[in-house]
Structure 1
Amino acid sequence: MGVFEAILLGVLQGLTEFLPISSSAHLLIVPWLLGWPEPGLAFSVALHLGTLAAVVTYFWRDLLAMAAGLLRGLKTRRWTADPDARLALIIAIGSIPAAVAGFLGSDALDAYFHSGGGGDRAIMVSALLLIGLGLLLALAEWLARHRRDLSDVTAWDGIVVGLAQALALLPGVSRSGSTITAGLFLGLRRDAAARFSFLLGVPAVAGAGLLEGIDLLRAGLPAEERLIFAAGTISAAVVGYLAIAFLLRFLQRHSALVFVWYRLVLGTAVLALALWRASG
Protein backbone atom coordinates (compact mmCIF):
# COMPACT_ATOMS: atom_id res chain seq x y z
CA MET A 1 0.00 0.00 0.00
CA GLY A 2 1.21 3.48 -0.90
CA VAL A 3 0.58 6.78 0.84
CA PHE A 4 -2.19 7.69 -1.61
CA GLU A 5 -4.07 4.49 -0.88
CA ALA A 6 -3.55 5.02 2.86
CA ILE A 7 -4.99 8.54 2.71
CA LEU A 8 -7.93 7.39 0.57
CA LEU A 9 -8.80 4.54 2.94
CA GLY A 10 -8.33 6.86 5.94
CA VAL A 11 -10.78 9.36 4.44
CA LEU A 12 -13.15 6.50 3.69
CA GLN A 13 -12.90 5.26 7.28
CA GLY A 14 -13.44 8.71 8.74
CA LEU A 15 -16.56 9.28 6.67
CA THR A 16 -18.18 5.88 6.89
CA GLU A 17 -17.42 5.09 10.54
CA PHE A 18 -19.68 7.90 11.72
CA LEU A 19 -22.18 8.22 8.88
CA PRO A 20 -24.68 5.32 9.02
CA ILE A 21 -23.37 3.61 5.91
CA SER A 22 -20.87 1.02 7.30
CA SER A 23 -17.13 1.62 7.34
CA SER A 24 -16.31 -2.10 7.37
CA ALA A 25 -18.38 -2.69 4.22
CA HIS A 26 -16.67 0.18 2.39
CA LEU A 27 -13.21 -0.98 3.48
CA LEU A 28 -14.13 -4.42 2.17
CA ILE A 29 -15.78 -3.32 -1.08
CA VAL A 30 -13.37 -0.60 -2.26
CA PRO A 31 -10.21 -2.79 -2.23
CA TRP A 32 -12.28 -5.56 -3.85
CA LEU A 33 -13.36 -3.22 -6.65
CA LEU A 34 -9.88 -1.76 -7.19
CA GLY A 35 -7.97 -5.01 -6.79
CA TRP A 36 -6.00 -3.78 -3.77
CA PRO A 37 -4.64 -6.24 -1.20
CA GLU A 38 -5.99 -6.39 2.34
CA PRO A 39 -4.60 -3.41 4.34
CA GLY A 40 -3.22 -5.61 7.14
CA LEU A 41 -2.95 -5.33 10.91
CA ALA A 42 -0.86 -2.15 11.12
CA PHE A 43 -3.21 -0.17 8.94
CA SER A 44 -6.25 -1.49 10.77
CA VAL A 45 -4.73 -0.16 14.02
CA ALA A 46 -4.07 3.18 12.31
CA LEU A 47 -7.71 3.49 11.26
CA HIS A 48 -8.98 2.61 14.73
CA LEU A 49 -6.57 5.12 16.27
CA GLY A 50 -7.75 7.86 13.90
CA THR A 51 -11.40 7.07 14.56
CA LEU A 52 -10.85 7.10 18.32
CA ALA A 53 -8.97 10.41 18.13
CA ALA A 54 -11.87 11.95 16.20
CA VAL A 55 -14.61 10.94 18.63
CA VAL A 56 -12.58 11.70 21.78
CA THR A 57 -11.59 15.14 20.43
CA TYR A 58 -15.17 16.00 19.57
CA PHE A 59 -16.74 14.72 22.79
CA TRP A 60 -13.93 15.43 25.27
CA ARG A 61 -16.16 17.65 27.39
CA ASP A 62 -18.84 14.96 27.62
CA LEU A 63 -16.26 12.30 28.45
CA LEU A 64 -14.67 14.45 31.16
CA ALA A 65 -18.11 15.22 32.60
CA MET A 66 -18.94 11.52 32.78
CA ALA A 67 -15.60 10.73 34.42
CA ALA A 68 -16.22 13.47 36.99
CA GLY A 69 -19.72 12.12 37.53
CA LEU A 70 -18.34 8.67 38.25
CA LEU A 71 -15.94 10.12 40.82
CA ARG A 72 -18.81 11.97 42.49
CA GLY A 73 -20.81 8.75 42.46
CA LEU A 74 -18.00 6.94 44.25
CA LYS A 75 -18.16 9.52 47.01
CA THR A 76 -21.92 9.86 47.37
CA ARG A 77 -23.01 6.33 46.31
CA ARG A 78 -25.89 8.03 44.49
CA TRP A 79 -25.15 6.95 40.95
CA THR A 80 -28.56 7.53 39.39
CA ALA A 81 -28.98 10.98 40.96
CA ASP A 82 -26.03 12.37 38.99
CA PRO A 83 -26.93 12.61 35.25
CA ASP A 84 -23.30 12.36 34.12
CA ALA A 85 -22.62 9.30 36.28
CA ARG A 86 -25.88 7.72 35.14
CA LEU A 87 -25.00 8.22 31.45
CA ALA A 88 -21.53 6.76 32.03
CA LEU A 89 -23.05 3.65 33.64
CA ILE A 90 -25.57 3.28 30.82
CA ILE A 91 -22.76 3.43 28.28
CA ALA A 92 -20.81 0.84 30.27
CA ILE A 93 -23.85 -1.47 30.29
CA GLY A 94 -24.47 -0.88 26.59
CA SER A 95 -20.87 -1.75 25.75
CA ILE A 96 -21.12 -5.29 27.15
CA PRO A 97 -22.92 -6.94 24.18
CA ALA A 98 -20.34 -5.72 21.65
CA ALA A 99 -17.48 -6.84 23.90
CA VAL A 100 -18.97 -10.33 24.25
CA ALA A 101 -19.76 -10.59 20.54
CA GLY A 102 -16.26 -9.45 19.61
CA PHE A 103 -14.65 -11.95 21.98
CA LEU A 104 -16.73 -14.85 20.66
CA GLY A 105 -17.00 -14.09 16.97
CA SER A 106 -14.40 -11.61 15.73
CA ASP A 107 -11.87 -14.24 14.60
CA ALA A 108 -14.43 -16.19 12.58
CA LEU A 109 -15.86 -13.06 11.00
CA ASP A 110 -12.39 -11.75 10.18
CA ALA A 111 -11.50 -15.04 8.50
CA TYR A 112 -14.66 -14.96 6.41
CA PHE A 113 -14.85 -11.29 5.46
CA HIS A 114 -11.29 -9.94 5.64
CA SER A 115 -8.93 -12.84 5.05
CA GLY A 116 -10.36 -14.18 1.83
CA GLY A 117 -12.37 -17.01 3.36
CA GLY A 118 -15.70 -15.85 1.99
CA GLY A 119 -14.52 -14.62 -1.40
CA ASP A 120 -17.23 -13.01 -3.50
CA ARG A 121 -19.86 -14.51 -1.18
CA ALA A 122 -18.60 -12.23 1.59
CA ILE A 123 -19.13 -9.24 -0.71
CA MET A 124 -22.67 -10.43 -1.45
CA VAL A 125 -23.45 -10.82 2.24
CA SER A 126 -22.15 -7.30 2.94
CA ALA A 127 -24.27 -5.93 0.09
CA LEU A 128 -27.38 -7.64 1.46
CA LEU A 129 -26.65 -6.26 4.94
CA LEU A 130 -26.28 -2.76 3.48
CA ILE A 131 -29.74 -3.13 1.95
CA GLY A 132 -31.30 -4.79 4.99
CA LEU A 133 -30.14 -2.22 7.54
CA GLY A 134 -31.13 0.54 5.13
CA LEU A 135 -34.70 -0.78 5.09
CA LEU A 136 -34.70 -1.01 8.90
CA LEU A 137 -33.49 2.59 9.15
CA ALA A 138 -36.30 3.66 6.81
CA LEU A 139 -38.82 1.82 9.00
CA ALA A 140 -37.39 3.48 12.11
CA GLU A 141 -37.76 6.91 10.50
CA TRP A 142 -41.37 6.10 9.60
CA LEU A 143 -42.35 4.83 13.07
CA ALA A 144 -40.17 7.02 15.31
CA ARG A 145 -41.69 9.74 17.48
CA HIS A 146 -38.46 11.75 17.93
CA ARG A 147 -39.47 12.97 21.39
CA ARG A 148 -36.79 11.79 23.81
CA ASP A 149 -33.49 13.53 24.50
CA LEU A 150 -30.15 12.14 25.66
CA SER A 151 -31.06 12.96 29.26
CA ASP A 152 -34.02 10.56 28.98
CA VAL A 153 -31.88 7.53 28.11
CA THR A 154 -32.30 4.58 30.51
CA ALA A 155 -30.37 1.39 31.22
CA TRP A 156 -32.88 -0.49 29.07
CA ASP A 157 -32.09 1.84 26.17
CA GLY A 158 -28.40 1.12 26.73
CA ILE A 159 -29.00 -2.63 26.51
CA VAL A 160 -31.11 -2.40 23.34
CA VAL A 161 -28.74 -0.02 21.56
CA GLY A 162 -25.79 -2.07 22.82
CA LEU A 163 -27.25 -5.21 21.28
CA ALA A 164 -27.66 -3.32 18.01
CA GLN A 165 -24.02 -2.23 18.22
CA ALA A 166 -22.94 -5.86 18.58
CA LEU A 167 -24.43 -6.59 15.15
CA ALA A 168 -21.99 -4.09 13.62
CA LEU A 169 -19.29 -6.77 13.61
CA LEU A 170 -20.93 -7.79 10.33
CA PRO A 171 -19.68 -5.62 7.43
CA GLY A 172 -22.64 -3.79 5.97
CA VAL A 173 -24.57 -3.35 9.20
CA SER A 174 -22.72 -0.19 10.37
CA ARG A 175 -22.12 0.57 14.04
CA SER A 176 -23.55 4.07 13.80
CA GLY A 177 -26.32 2.85 11.49
CA SER A 178 -27.50 0.05 13.77
CA THR A 179 -27.30 2.13 16.96
CA ILE A 180 -29.01 5.19 15.47
CA THR A 181 -31.73 2.92 14.08
CA ALA A 182 -32.25 1.35 17.51
CA GLY A 183 -32.31 4.79 19.10
CA LEU A 184 -34.99 5.97 16.69
CA PHE A 185 -37.11 2.90 17.42
CA LEU A 186 -36.80 3.79 21.12
CA GLY A 187 -38.20 7.26 20.44
CA LEU A 188 -35.00 9.32 20.64
CA ARG A 189 -34.66 12.46 18.58
CA ARG A 190 -32.38 11.97 15.60
CA ASP A 191 -29.52 14.08 16.94
CA ALA A 192 -29.86 12.49 20.41
CA ALA A 193 -29.73 9.01 18.87
CA ALA A 194 -26.58 9.96 16.95
CA ARG A 195 -24.94 11.53 20.01
CA PHE A 196 -25.67 8.44 22.12
CA SER A 197 -24.36 6.26 19.28
CA PHE A 198 -21.05 8.12 19.18
CA LEU A 199 -20.57 8.10 22.95
CA LEU A 200 -21.43 4.40 23.10
CA GLY A 201 -18.89 3.78 20.35
CA VAL A 202 -15.95 5.13 22.36
CA PRO A 203 -15.41 1.95 24.45
CA ALA A 204 -16.01 -0.27 21.40
CA VAL A 205 -13.51 1.55 19.19
CA ALA A 206 -10.99 1.84 22.02
CA GLY A 207 -11.31 -1.85 22.85
CA ALA A 208 -10.90 -2.98 19.25
CA GLY A 209 -7.92 -0.67 18.78
CA LEU A 210 -6.32 -1.89 22.02
CA LEU A 211 -6.55 -5.55 21.09
CA GLU A 212 -5.14 -4.97 17.61
CA GLY A 213 -2.53 -2.60 19.05
CA ILE A 214 -1.25 -5.33 21.37
CA ASP A 215 -0.89 -7.65 18.38
CA LEU A 216 0.93 -4.91 16.48
CA LEU A 217 3.34 -4.31 19.36
CA ARG A 218 4.16 -8.00 19.39
CA ALA A 219 4.68 -8.09 15.61
CA GLY A 220 6.39 -4.71 15.36
CA LEU A 221 5.81 -1.87 12.90
CA PRO A 222 8.32 -1.97 10.05
CA ALA A 223 10.04 1.33 9.27
CA GLU A 224 8.69 1.40 5.71
CA GLU A 225 5.09 1.28 7.00
CA ARG A 226 5.37 4.19 9.45
CA LEU A 227 4.51 6.90 6.94
CA ILE A 228 1.53 4.87 5.72
CA PHE A 229 0.44 4.34 9.34
CA ALA A 230 0.61 8.09 10.02
CA ALA A 231 -1.21 8.98 6.80
CA GLY A 232 -4.09 6.62 7.58
CA THR A 233 -4.36 7.77 11.20
CA ILE A 234 -4.36 11.50 10.43
CA SER A 235 -6.76 11.32 7.49
CA ALA A 236 -9.21 9.13 9.44
CA ALA A 237 -9.04 11.46 12.46
CA VAL A 238 -9.57 14.71 10.55
CA VAL A 239 -12.34 13.44 8.29
CA GLY A 240 -13.96 11.55 11.18
CA TYR A 241 -14.17 14.72 13.27
CA LEU A 242 -15.78 16.60 10.38
CA ALA A 243 -18.19 13.71 9.77
CA ILE A 244 -19.37 13.76 13.40
CA ALA A 245 -19.95 17.51 13.32
CA PHE A 246 -21.79 17.25 10.00
CA LEU A 247 -24.09 14.41 11.02
CA LEU A 248 -25.13 15.97 14.33
CA ARG A 249 -26.04 19.23 12.59
CA PHE A 250 -27.69 17.44 9.66
CA LEU A 251 -29.96 15.29 11.84
CA GLN A 252 -31.23 18.34 13.72
CA ARG A 253 -33.13 19.41 10.60
CA HIS A 254 -33.26 16.44 8.25
CA SER A 255 -34.21 12.78 8.30
CA ALA A 256 -31.77 9.93 7.70
CA LEU A 257 -33.48 8.88 4.46
CA VAL A 258 -30.61 10.12 2.30
CA PHE A 259 -28.44 7.45 3.93
CA VAL A 260 -31.17 4.88 3.36
CA TRP A 261 -31.13 5.60 -0.38
CA TYR A 262 -27.34 5.52 -0.45
CA ARG A 263 -27.30 2.10 1.23
CA LEU A 264 -29.95 0.71 -1.11
CA VAL A 265 -28.24 1.95 -4.27
CA LEU A 266 -24.75 0.87 -3.19
CA GLY A 267 -25.90 -2.50 -1.88
CA THR A 268 -27.89 -3.27 -5.04
CA ALA A 269 -25.03 -2.23 -7.34
CA VAL A 270 -22.40 -4.23 -5.42
CA LEU A 271 -24.66 -7.29 -5.24
CA ALA A 272 -25.29 -7.14 -8.99
CA LEU A 273 -21.58 -6.77 -9.72
CA ALA A 274 -20.64 -9.63 -7.39
CA LEU A 275 -23.23 -11.91 -8.99
CA TRP A 276 -21.97 -10.95 -12.45
CA ARG A 277 -18.35 -11.69 -11.48
CA ALA A 278 -19.35 -14.99 -9.90
CA SER A 279 -21.27 -16.06 -13.01
CA GLY A 280 -18.29 -15.21 -15.22
Structure 2
Amino acid sequence: METVQVVVLALIQGISEFLPISSSAHLILPSQLLGWPDQGLAFDVAVHLGSLAAVLIYFRSDLWQLTRGCQQALSARQFNAELHLSLLLVLATIPAVLFGLAVSISGVDEAMRSIAVIATTTLLFGILLGVAERFVRGKPMSAIGWRDALLIGLAQALAIIPGTSRSGITITAALLLGYSREVAARFSFLMSIPIILAAGSLKTRDLIAQAEPVQWSVLFIGALLSGVSAWLCIRWFLAVINRIGMLPFVVYRVLLAALLFLIYFS
Protein backbone atom coordinates (compact mmCIF):
# COMPACT_ATOMS: atom_id res chain seq x y z
CA MET A 1 0.00 0.00 0.00
CA GLU A 2 1.19 3.50 -0.84
CA THR A 3 1.51 6.01 1.99
CA VAL A 4 -1.39 8.15 0.77
CA GLN A 5 -3.64 5.07 0.64
CA VAL A 6 -2.69 4.09 4.19
CA VAL A 7 -3.37 7.59 5.52
CA VAL A 8 -6.68 8.10 3.70
CA LEU A 9 -8.15 4.69 4.55
CA ALA A 10 -7.06 4.85 8.20
CA LEU A 11 -8.61 8.31 8.61
CA ILE A 12 -11.82 7.18 6.89
CA GLN A 13 -12.08 4.22 9.26
CA GLY A 14 -11.37 6.31 12.35
CA ILE A 15 -13.72 9.15 11.46
CA SER A 16 -16.62 7.11 10.13
CA GLU A 17 -16.57 4.32 12.74
CA PHE A 18 -18.31 6.38 15.43
CA LEU A 19 -20.14 9.05 13.44
CA PRO A 20 -23.59 7.99 12.13
CA ILE A 21 -22.46 8.08 8.48
CA SER A 22 -21.41 4.46 7.67
CA SER A 23 -17.77 3.45 7.36
CA SER A 24 -18.52 0.89 4.63
CA ALA A 25 -20.14 3.56 2.45
CA HIS A 26 -16.98 5.65 2.68
CA LEU A 27 -14.47 2.83 2.32
CA ILE A 28 -15.99 1.84 -1.02
CA LEU A 29 -15.41 5.30 -2.53
CA PRO A 30 -11.58 5.21 -2.87
CA SER A 31 -11.70 1.93 -4.81
CA GLN A 32 -14.47 3.23 -7.07
CA LEU A 33 -13.17 6.75 -7.65
CA LEU A 34 -9.41 6.15 -7.47
CA GLY A 35 -9.16 2.52 -8.51
CA TRP A 36 -7.36 1.51 -5.30
CA PRO A 37 -7.04 -2.23 -4.62
CA ASP A 38 -8.48 -3.87 -1.52
CA GLN A 39 -6.42 -2.92 1.56
CA GLY A 40 -6.22 -6.51 2.80
CA LEU A 41 -7.19 -8.31 5.97
CA ALA A 42 -4.15 -7.28 8.02
CA PHE A 43 -4.87 -3.58 7.49
CA ASP A 44 -8.53 -4.13 8.43
CA VAL A 45 -7.42 -5.69 11.71
CA ALA A 46 -5.02 -2.83 12.42
CA VAL A 47 -7.49 0.01 11.87
CA HIS A 48 -10.18 -1.77 13.91
CA LEU A 49 -7.71 -2.20 16.77
CA GLY A 50 -7.04 1.53 16.52
CA SER A 51 -10.76 2.29 16.78
CA LEU A 52 -11.09 -0.09 19.73
CA ALA A 53 -8.18 1.57 21.52
CA ALA A 54 -9.79 4.99 20.99
CA VAL A 55 -13.10 4.06 22.60
CA LEU A 56 -11.37 2.21 25.45
CA ILE A 57 -9.18 5.24 26.22
CA TYR A 58 -12.02 7.75 25.96
CA PHE A 59 -14.36 5.76 28.23
CA ARG A 60 -11.62 4.47 30.55
CA SER A 61 -13.15 6.05 33.65
CA ASP A 62 -16.63 4.70 32.80
CA LEU A 63 -15.19 1.25 32.20
CA TRP A 64 -13.22 1.40 35.46
CA GLN A 65 -16.39 2.31 37.37
CA LEU A 66 -18.30 -0.51 35.70
CA THR A 67 -15.53 -2.98 36.55
CA ARG A 68 -15.33 -1.87 40.20
CA GLY A 69 -19.11 -1.84 40.49
CA CYS A 70 -19.40 -5.36 39.10
CA GLN A 71 -16.69 -6.60 41.50
CA GLN A 72 -18.49 -4.99 44.45
CA ALA A 73 -21.84 -6.45 43.37
CA LEU A 74 -20.40 -9.94 43.06
CA SER A 75 -18.53 -9.67 46.37
CA ALA A 76 -21.58 -8.39 48.24
CA ARG A 77 -23.94 -10.61 46.21
CA GLN A 78 -26.08 -7.54 45.67
CA PHE A 79 -27.31 -6.14 42.37
CA ASN A 80 -26.19 -2.56 41.61
CA ALA A 81 -26.35 -0.02 38.76
CA GLU A 82 -22.93 -0.90 37.35
CA LEU A 83 -23.71 -4.62 37.10
CA HIS A 84 -27.09 -3.77 35.59
CA LEU A 85 -25.54 -1.60 32.86
CA SER A 86 -22.84 -4.21 32.15
CA LEU A 87 -25.45 -6.93 31.68
CA LEU A 88 -27.47 -4.62 29.42
CA LEU A 89 -24.39 -4.11 27.22
CA VAL A 90 -23.88 -7.89 27.03
CA LEU A 91 -27.54 -8.40 26.11
CA ALA A 92 -27.36 -5.68 23.45
CA THR A 93 -24.31 -7.36 21.89
CA ILE A 94 -25.79 -10.85 21.50
CA PRO A 95 -28.06 -10.18 18.46
CA ALA A 96 -25.23 -8.68 16.40
CA VAL A 97 -22.89 -11.57 17.22
CA LEU A 98 -25.50 -14.18 16.27
CA PHE A 99 -26.52 -12.36 13.09
CA GLY A 100 -22.89 -11.81 12.14
CA LEU A 101 -22.10 -15.51 12.53
CA ALA A 102 -25.17 -16.47 10.50
CA VAL A 103 -24.22 -14.11 7.67
CA SER A 104 -20.61 -15.31 7.72
CA ILE A 105 -21.63 -18.98 7.56
CA SER A 106 -24.20 -18.39 4.80
CA GLY A 107 -21.65 -16.56 2.65
CA VAL A 108 -24.03 -13.75 1.66
CA ASP A 109 -21.83 -11.03 3.15
CA GLU A 110 -19.97 -10.47 -0.14
CA ALA A 111 -23.24 -10.10 -2.05
CA MET A 112 -24.31 -7.31 0.33
CA ARG A 113 -21.21 -5.23 -0.40
CA SER A 114 -22.47 -3.93 -3.75
CA ILE A 115 -22.70 -0.19 -4.41
CA ALA A 116 -26.46 -0.49 -4.91
CA VAL A 117 -26.98 -2.05 -1.47
CA ILE A 118 -24.69 0.41 0.29
CA ALA A 119 -26.27 3.43 -1.43
CA THR A 120 -29.79 2.22 -0.56
CA THR A 121 -29.05 1.54 3.11
CA THR A 122 -27.11 4.80 3.42
CA LEU A 123 -30.19 6.68 2.17
CA LEU A 124 -32.95 4.77 3.99
CA PHE A 125 -31.28 4.58 7.39
CA GLY A 126 -30.16 8.20 7.04
CA ILE A 127 -33.78 9.27 6.58
CA LEU A 128 -34.81 7.07 9.54
CA LEU A 129 -32.20 8.87 11.67
CA GLY A 130 -33.91 12.15 10.78
CA VAL A 131 -37.31 10.74 11.70
CA ALA A 132 -35.91 9.57 15.06
CA GLU A 133 -35.12 13.19 15.97
CA ARG A 134 -38.87 13.76 16.48
CA PHE A 135 -38.94 11.12 19.24
CA VAL A 136 -36.24 12.62 21.48
CA ARG A 137 -37.63 12.85 25.02
CA GLY A 138 -34.49 13.15 27.14
CA LYS A 139 -34.71 9.83 29.00
CA PRO A 140 -31.49 9.20 31.05
CA MET A 141 -29.12 6.24 30.89
CA SER A 142 -30.64 4.84 34.10
CA ALA A 143 -33.97 4.38 32.29
CA ILE A 144 -32.54 1.76 29.92
CA GLY A 145 -34.07 -1.61 30.77
CA TRP A 146 -33.87 -5.12 29.36
CA ARG A 147 -36.44 -4.48 26.62
CA ASP A 148 -34.82 -1.29 25.37
CA ALA A 149 -31.32 -2.81 25.47
CA LEU A 150 -32.52 -5.77 23.43
CA LEU A 151 -34.26 -3.51 20.89
CA ILE A 152 -31.12 -1.39 20.48
CA GLY A 153 -29.11 -4.61 20.18
CA LEU A 154 -31.43 -5.89 17.45
CA ALA A 155 -30.93 -2.60 15.64
CA GLN A 156 -27.15 -3.04 15.94
CA ALA A 157 -27.49 -6.43 14.23
CA LEU A 158 -28.78 -4.62 11.13
CA ALA A 159 -25.39 -2.90 10.85
CA ILE A 160 -24.07 -6.16 9.39
CA ILE A 161 -25.66 -4.83 6.18
CA PRO A 162 -23.07 -2.44 4.67
CA GLY A 163 -24.13 1.19 4.54
CA THR A 164 -26.35 0.97 7.62
CA SER A 165 -23.79 2.42 10.09
CA ARG A 166 -23.48 0.69 13.46
CA SER A 167 -23.43 3.93 15.43
CA GLY A 168 -26.15 5.42 13.22
CA ILE A 169 -28.67 2.60 13.65
CA THR A 170 -28.09 2.19 17.40
CA ILE A 171 -28.42 5.93 18.01
CA THR A 172 -31.56 5.91 15.84
CA ALA A 173 -33.07 3.09 17.90
CA ALA A 174 -32.28 4.84 21.19
CA LEU A 175 -33.77 8.11 19.96
CA LEU A 176 -36.93 6.32 18.80
CA LEU A 177 -37.22 4.92 22.34
CA GLY A 178 -37.13 8.46 23.74
CA TYR A 179 -33.56 8.77 25.05
CA SER A 180 -31.55 11.97 24.83
CA ARG A 181 -29.01 12.37 22.04
CA GLU A 182 -26.09 12.20 24.46
CA VAL A 183 -27.38 9.05 26.18
CA ALA A 184 -28.06 7.44 22.80
CA ALA A 185 -24.52 8.22 21.64
CA ARG A 186 -22.81 7.12 24.86
CA PHE A 187 -24.71 3.82 25.01
CA SER A 188 -23.93 3.25 21.32
CA PHE A 189 -20.21 3.87 21.88
CA LEU A 190 -20.09 1.58 24.92
CA MET A 191 -21.86 -1.10 22.85
CA SER A 192 -19.16 -0.78 20.21
CA ILE A 193 -16.46 -2.15 22.55
CA PRO A 194 -17.55 -5.82 22.64
CA ILE A 195 -18.68 -5.82 18.99
CA ILE A 196 -15.42 -4.33 17.65
CA LEU A 197 -13.50 -6.73 19.89
CA ALA A 198 -15.50 -9.69 18.53
CA ALA A 199 -15.10 -8.59 14.90
CA GLY A 200 -11.39 -7.93 15.40
CA SER A 201 -10.89 -11.36 16.96
CA LEU A 202 -12.56 -13.08 13.99
CA LYS A 203 -10.49 -11.07 11.52
CA THR A 204 -7.32 -11.87 13.47
CA ARG A 205 -8.15 -15.58 13.36
CA ASP A 206 -8.64 -15.39 9.60
CA LEU A 207 -5.41 -13.43 9.25
CA ILE A 208 -3.43 -16.07 11.16
CA ALA A 209 -4.97 -18.80 8.99
CA GLN A 210 -3.92 -16.99 5.80
CA ALA A 211 -0.30 -16.56 6.99
CA GLU A 212 0.19 -13.53 4.74
CA PRO A 213 3.39 -11.47 4.97
CA VAL A 214 2.84 -8.45 7.20
CA GLN A 215 4.11 -4.89 6.69
CA TRP A 216 4.37 -3.88 10.33
CA SER A 217 5.14 -0.21 9.64
CA VAL A 218 1.99 0.11 7.52
CA LEU A 219 -0.13 -1.56 10.19
CA PHE A 220 1.29 0.66 12.94
CA ILE A 221 0.59 3.86 10.98
CA GLY A 222 -2.92 2.64 10.11
CA ALA A 223 -3.75 1.73 13.71
CA LEU A 224 -2.33 5.01 15.06
CA LEU A 225 -4.18 7.26 12.59
CA SER A 226 -7.41 5.32 13.00
CA GLY A 227 -7.17 5.50 16.79
CA VAL A 228 -6.35 9.21 17.01
CA SER A 229 -9.04 10.24 14.51
CA ALA A 230 -11.63 7.98 16.21
CA TRP A 231 -10.84 9.46 19.65
CA LEU A 232 -11.17 13.01 18.31
CA CYS A 233 -14.48 12.12 16.65
CA ILE A 234 -15.94 10.63 19.82
CA ARG A 235 -14.91 13.70 21.81
CA TRP A 236 -16.26 16.15 19.23
CA PHE A 237 -19.51 14.24 18.66
CA LEU A 238 -20.43 14.04 22.34
CA ALA A 239 -19.56 17.74 22.82
CA VAL A 240 -21.78 19.06 20.01
CA ILE A 241 -24.56 16.51 19.52
CA ASN A 242 -27.08 18.26 21.78
CA ARG A 243 -26.50 21.55 19.93
CA ILE A 244 -26.49 20.45 16.31
CA GLY A 245 -28.74 17.38 16.47
CA MET A 246 -28.79 14.71 13.76
CA LEU A 247 -29.89 16.82 10.78
CA PRO A 248 -26.35 17.55 9.46
CA PHE A 249 -25.63 13.81 9.36
CA VAL A 250 -28.96 13.08 7.69
CA VAL A 251 -28.25 15.64 4.94
CA TYR A 252 -24.72 14.28 4.53
CA ARG A 253 -25.99 10.70 4.17
CA VAL A 254 -28.54 11.70 1.56
CA LEU A 255 -25.85 13.47 -0.48
CA LEU A 256 -23.47 10.52 -0.07
CA ALA A 257 -26.18 8.11 -1.24
CA ALA A 258 -26.81 10.31 -4.27
CA LEU A 259 -23.10 10.16 -5.14
CA LEU A 260 -23.05 6.38 -4.75
CA PHE A 261 -26.14 6.00 -6.97
CA LEU A 262 -24.49 8.25 -9.54
CA ILE A 263 -21.42 6.01 -9.55
CA TYR A 264 -23.59 2.88 -9.77
CA PHE A 265 -25.68 4.06 -12.72
CA SER A 266 -22.84 5.73 -14.63
TM-score range, shorter chain: over 0.9
Q: Aligned-pair distance for 1:113?
A: 4.5
TM-score of the superposed pair, with normalisation by structure 2:
0.95
1:49–1:109 CA distance, 2 compared to 1 (3 A): farther
Q: 1:238 maps to what in 2?
A: 228
1:88 to 86, 89, 92: 86
CA contact (8 A) 1:19 1:176 kept: yes
CA contact (8 A) 1:109 1:170 kept: no
Q: 2:99 maps to what in 1?
A: 101
Q: 1:117 maps to what in 2?
A: none
TM-score of the superposed pair, with normalisation by structure 1:
0.91
Amino acid at match of 1:260: V
Q: 1:130 maps to what in 2?
A: 122
Q: Aligned-pair distance for 1:159?
A: 0.4
- Whether 2:225 is the aligned partner of 1:226: answer no
Q: 2:147 maps to what in 1?
A: 156
Q: 1:23 maps to what in 2?
A: 23
Q: 2:35 maps to what in 1?
A: 35
CA contact (8 A) 1:180 1:197 kept: yes
Q: Aligned-pair distance for 1:91?
A: 0.2
| Map 1:177-192 → 2, pairs under 5 A | 177-192=168-183
The CA RMSD measured in Å over matched residues stands at 1.4
Q: 1:251 maps to what in 2?
A: 241
Determine the C-alpha separation between the residues in 1 that align with 2:222 and 2:151.
Answer: 33
Q: 1:215 maps to what in 2?
A: 206
Q: Show structure 2 runs of 5+ residues with no match.
A: none
Q: Aligned-pair distance for 1:109?
A: 4.3
Determine the C-alpha separation between the residues in 1 that align with 2:62 and 2:217.
Answer: 32
Q: Aligned-pair distance for 1:29?
A: 2.7
How many residues in Structure 1 have an aligned counterpart in Structure 2?
265
- Name the SS for the 2:179 alignment partner: coil
CA contact (8 A) 2:135 2:177 kept: no
Q: 1:64 maps to what in 2?
A: 64
Amino acid at match of 2:261: L
Determine the C-alpha separation between the residues in 2 that align with 1:111 and 1:235.
Answer: 27
1:49-71 CA distances to partner (integer Å, 9 max, x unpaired)? 01101100100111121122221
Amino acid at match of 2:111: Y
CA contact (8 A) 1:18 1:240 kept: yes
Determine the C-alpha separation between the residues in 1 that align with 2:212 and 2:48.
Answer: 16
Determine the C-alpha separation between the residues in 2 that align with 1:76 and 1:109.
Answer: 47
Determine the C-alpha separation between the residues in 1 that align with 2:176 and 2:63.
Answer: 25
1:9-65 CA distances to partner (integer Å, 9 max, x unpaired)? 110011100100001221123322211111111011011101101100100111121
Q: Aligned-pair distance for 1:263?
A: 0.2
